[in-house]
Chain A
Amino acid sequence: KAGVTQTPRYLIKTRGQQVTLSCSPISGHRSVSWYQQTPGQGLQFLFEYFSETQRNKGNFPGRFSGRQFSNSRSEMNVSTLELGDSALYLCASSPQPSGAYNEQFFGPGTRLTVL
């Protein structure tokens, strides 16, 4: 099976702009989670989608939003970008929601740089 794919791999934006990141889960996986990874904070949970519904949301401002499509692909949007949003954004998929104690399979990440 093909692994989790994320596009684009690299992005450079300026403050105030918005950005959309995409994640395609492993075929058959219906749960997609998003994380922000920074050197000082490690991985911080953004949100999880399962069957097109947001199951959980981490402690991030409303500028961070997401959605999931019927084919389980997911997008994450960040509006009004700030310098502090520069990070590696990771997507992870699993067959079932995280409550079912499934392993998460990670994508390579999208490196976002905000200037």
Chain B
Amino acid sequence: AQRVTQPEKLLSVFKGAPVELKCNYSYSGSPELFWYVQYSRQRLQLLLRHISRESIKGFTADLNKGETSFHLKKPFAQEEDSAMYYCALNTGNQFYFGTGTSLTVIP
């Protein structure tokens, strides 16, 4: 069963516009959720995790247990935000990754 769903494969926004990358998960226990990012020609790296509740590069993500969502948001997109974004769920036994959303920020 798909544990992590990222409904948008591709997302394009204009520079300066708000951006939201959606992530929904399926897990009955206490989830540990992450956002990973892969910039062009770079390796996959952690962007943020819900437990630390911090803003990284202007991005934030709030865990909504009622809606089982962990959407990634940024109020003003920048060109350097163009990348592939993966939502990931850690159940304590393994990581489950979504299929990713490719974000393009149009100048």
Contacting pair A33 B92 (CB below 8 A): no
Least Cβ–Cβ distance between B84 and chain A, in angstroms? 9
Contacting pair A107 B97 (CB below 8 A): no
Contacting pair A98 B34 (CB below 8 A): no
Q: Which of A21-29, A39-47, A76-84 contacts B (4 or more CB under 8 A)?
A: A39-47
Q: Which of B13-21, B42-50, B64-72, B74-82 contacts A (4 or more CB under 8 A)?
A: B42-50
User: How big is chain B's contact interface, by range?
Assistant: 20 to 34
Contacting pair A98 B97 (CB below 8 A): no
Contacting pair B100 A42 (CB below 8 A): yes
Which of A56, A98, A105, A109 has the largest count of B CB atoms less than 10 A from its CB? A98
Q: Mark B65-107, 1 if CB is under 8 A from A, else 0.
A: 0000000000000000000001000101111111110000000
Contacts from B to A (Cβ < 8 Å): 6, 32, 34, 36, 43-46, 49, 51, 86, 90, 92-100
